[in-house]
Structure 1
């Protein structure tokens, strides 16, 4: 079959906050100037929002810039933060509530909203379509189209290919989506963004990007345990061998959003981020709100947290790299949605100016100027020391440094801390580490991986090429099992990787159908032998309300 080709002014990969903000603002500018632009958003999820997972407490600064009348337009922001608690968990029973002066002001949430970012993105998609943007859900951007060293668009993935690479009766070749400019807003560790960074050396001279894995569950809880608008954050226990922290947000309708963020620079290969999260929910600070409730949703996603010093160059011939695909999250606030949206607003202005001058593929050098003149740059610069301080000094003293830096110096202490050690290089050999004993889940507060994946509504066509590719199939046993006891079994939050015994010895089994698209394996594998690529379009989780 011949491959179809469609031409656009701008193709945007990813219908998250960065991609949809770009689309909406670009369409607004075209409407204001009475110009016609062909704008397309391609989204690998079965629908907009299906792959969106975020805490989330949303800062509305960028939203106000995009839609000053967002309340009149019915944006799904209904739960304003009413109270804000931060705890230091000392052990499995004890905790200290920190007074405000001991907390970095970036962690204060007055005026913010507890939201489902999946629903916010669904609403943004509605606004975009009303402005004339075409949105194609269920189509995964699988390959770059590069011509004369310029990005000229993307190829969507073929449909109807079996596990051996043969065409099934249902085979349909992917489409060429060509554009004057292509915007990549795939979220953290986007597989095309990763290729672009390497091809155009966008991270040259930068600190390596750093990551965490974030978990989230939604619970229905008894009304008497619910305090709508309450935000709870914690540091300390159970993370004795990693940095990170927990959160618990009281949303509307007697629902609680609970999760744990675990930095992926940890050293012990026996650490299981999933099981650390299950332990967290047994602490009295958390259990008091969850006991007697019902868990209704589960998901996990990697988070780009390197911040200012790890930001790659965001422009290249033919396009832009935005939002968490570039790493614009402000980890000092544990927020990346408003920063992702702002990167999209800046991108739209650069794109509109270039298209008005009939440019096609020339590098958008003015985007860098717009970025450096924006509040986004200032915010990320002021938070540049946050992550490196935690990595360098630990949770307590790093937190103390950040409180001083943010509350007294406004993020402008005359020091520039950096972490130049990639996360995947941090694991120690198993002989140097102690095994960690995790209690069996009780089925009330803590659960196993498979029952959790069931709640993520994850589904993939079984007879398709595996989207978790091993560069060298011998490495998992010869290197990772021998040296680290194959940590993929533990860092994966979905039970994708298993060691099974066969007649001729152990073998790594990949249960790709379970994959929730968190990208942790692509990040944390110590030999960088696992390559995450997009599966057939619409595969993966189907988050209804995350």
Structure 2
């Protein structure tokens, strides 16, 4: 069967904050442009997971009347609590000694998934075509210029054979293609490699972020309250921090972010998160409540130092596909939106000057560098490297001085040039970690957690977790590191089984919640995450 083909002025891959913002801005600037957004999730917002405390700066610029238009921003932050946790104690920090970037006055506790659903409505109202359930599988590259994408085939079995109802993917061609797939985007990763976009950047850095939604008794709920924590349970074995947000409708959103540069192969991010909830500071709000949702997602957090060149022949990397999150604020939605808006303004101008399209998008770099987004990332450039180099306590002290005293304008830049996967200790040399069994009240097992992510994959389809060498998981990763994929995966996708006296790695790809952690953290860099059939994966409500 021949592939069908459609042509657009601009193709946006991914209906996240950056992609939808770019689509809206394009139609605001030129209603005649033919703009299409493809989204691999079953619906807009299905794959969106974020804390989230939202800063409305970019939204104020994009849609100034958002309040009267019904944007889902109703819970304004009423106060910040920041704790330093030990295993059995805590210390509440004065706001005076906290980096000012952590203060949330004027921000909102909101579901970014629901915000994206609302942004999609605004985009469609302007004439943007949005197609959920279509996974962009390949870039179309013609004479060194990206000309669009090919969507994944539908109806292929696990062995690659065509099933009944087989449909080949479509060619979606465009004058310009904007990649807004989120962290560790499948096509973004290809574009960075093919066009050598990261040759002048530090290695990108990542975290894995967990989130659960809890329905709690009214007396434990304080709408608008924000709690952030540092320290336990990550003392000595990793870095990161926790959060607990009091949203609307007696809901509490709780999570833990763990930097993926940790070196102990015995560490299990999932189990660290489960025991995090048992600390008295957190448990006081969750006890007696009911967990209703679970999810996890990798976070691109290298900041300005790790930012690749964002434009390439025929397209631009947007938002977390490039790495525009401001780690000092632990916020990436407003920055992603702004990157999409800048891209839209550049592309709209280029299309006005040259209706045929083309490969020259160098204006984007100039526009980006003159924006408040660049200035914000520049002021936060030392935050992550300081935490990695000096640890949570001393790094936090450095960042307090950098942000509060010098406004991020110290006359030097710290760098972290070690990739997150590089530095894993041998299992024999690392400290074993004894995790408690889940109690079924505050802490839970992986499988019951994955169930709450509303996961769906067509039972018989090609595995979307590709091994470059099928022998490495046992001969290298198991022998040296006790195969850490069994622990860093938050969904129980990877397990080592013994069959007839031989160890074997089993990949339960149907459990995958598309977090991309395996693609990032595998110490042998042997795993590549590619898109499964469109519509597969989690379907997060209100995340």
Per the normalisation by structure 1, the TM-score is: 0.99
Among residues 516, 530, 537, which one is paired with 1:519 in the alignment? 516
**3-state DSSP of counterpart to 2:211:** strand
Deviations 1:517-539 (A, max 9, x none): 00000000000000100000000
Note if 1:363 corresponds to 2:360.
Answer: yes
Aligned partner of 2:45 in structure 1 is: 49
Note if 1:11 corresponds to 2:11.
Answer: yes
User: 8 Å contact 1:469–1:533 — kept in the other structure?
Assistant: yes
The CA distance in 2 between the partners of 1:235 and 1:245, in whole Å, is 5
Q: Structure 1: any 5+ residue segments left out of the alignment?
A: none
Counting matched residue pairs gives 541
Among residues 209, 215, 237, which one is paired with 1:214 in the alignment? 209
Q: Which moved more, 1:386-395 or 1:352-361?
A: 352-361
Aligned partner of 2:449 in structure 1 is: 452
Among residues 327, 339, 361, which one is paired with 2:335 in the alignment? 339
The CA distance in 2 between the partners of 1:130 and 1:416, in whole Å, is 44
Aligned partner of 1:26 in structure 2 is: 26
Note if 1:308 corresponds to 2:311.
Answer: no
Among residues 416, 419, 422, which one is paired with 1:419 in the alignment? 416
Aligned partner of 2:36 in structure 1 is: 40
Q: CA deviation at 1:126?
A: 0.2
The CA distance in 1 between the partners of 2:240 and 2:525, in whole Å, is 23
**3-state DSSP of counterpart to 1:423:** coil
The CA distance in 2 between the partners of 1:11 and 1:426, in whole Å, is 39
Q: CA deviation at 1:544?
A: 1.1
Note if 1:177 corresponds to 2:186.
Answer: no
Q: What stretches of structure 1 move > 4 A for 4+ residues in a row?
A: none
**3-state DSSP of counterpart to 2:281:** helix
Aligned partner of 1:102 in structure 2 is: 97
Q: Counterparts in 2 of 1:388-537, with a 5 A limit? A: 388-537=385-534
For the aligned residues, what is the CA RMSD?
0.6
Deviations 1:171-227 (A, max 9, x none): 000000000000000000001000000000000121000000000000000000000
Q: CA deviation at 1:363?
A: 2.2
Q: CA deviation at 1:462?
A: 1.3
Deviations 1:372-421 (A, max 9, x none): 11000000000000000000000000000000000000001112000000
Q: Structure 2: any 5+ residue segments left out of the alignment?
A: none
**3-state DSSP of counterpart to 1:426:** coil
Note if 1:151 corresponds to 2:138.
Answer: no
User: 8 Å contact 1:12–1:185 — kept in the other structure?
Assistant: yes
**3-state DSSP of counterpart to 2:295:** strand
The CA distance in 1 between the partners of 2:342 and 2:439, in whole Å, is 48
User: 8 Å contact 1:216–1:298 — kept in the other structure?
Assistant: yes
User: 8 Å contact 1:18–1:343 — kept in the other structure?
Assistant: yes
The CA distance in 1 between the partners of 2:201 and 2:144, in whole Å, is 23
Deviations 1:257-302 (A, max 9, x none): 0000000000000000000000110001100000000000000000
User: 8 Å contact 1:214–1:300 — kept in the other structure?
Assistant: yes
Q: CA deviation at 1:504?
A: 4.3
The CA distance in 2 between the partners of 1:29 and 1:193, in whole Å, is 26
**3-state DSSP of counterpart to 1:348:** helix
Among residues 528, 538, 541, which one is paired with 2:538 in the alignment? 541
Among residues 55, 65, 69, which one is paired with 1:69 in the alignment? 65
The CA distance in 1 between the partners of 2:36 and 2:344, in whole Å, is 13
Note if 1:133 corresponds to 2:147.
Answer: no
Q: CA deviation at 1:432?
A: 1.0
The CA distance in 1 between the partners of 2:33 and 2:408, in whole Å, is 40
Q: CA deviation at 1:359?
A: 4.4
Deviations 1:222-275 (A, max 9, x none): 000000000000000000210000000000000000000000000000000000
The CA distance in 2 between the partners of 1:101 and 1:371, in whole Å, is 32
Q: Counterparts in 2 of 1:284-323, with a 5 A limit? A: 284-323=280-319
Per the normalisation by structure 2, the TM-score is: 0.99
User: 8 Å contact 1:319–1:361 — kept in the other structure?
Assistant: no
The CA distance in 2 between the partners of 1:504 and 1:277, in whole Å, is 34
Q: CA deviation at 1:361?
A: 2.2
The CA distance in 1 between the partners of 2:412 and 2:228, in whole Å, is 27
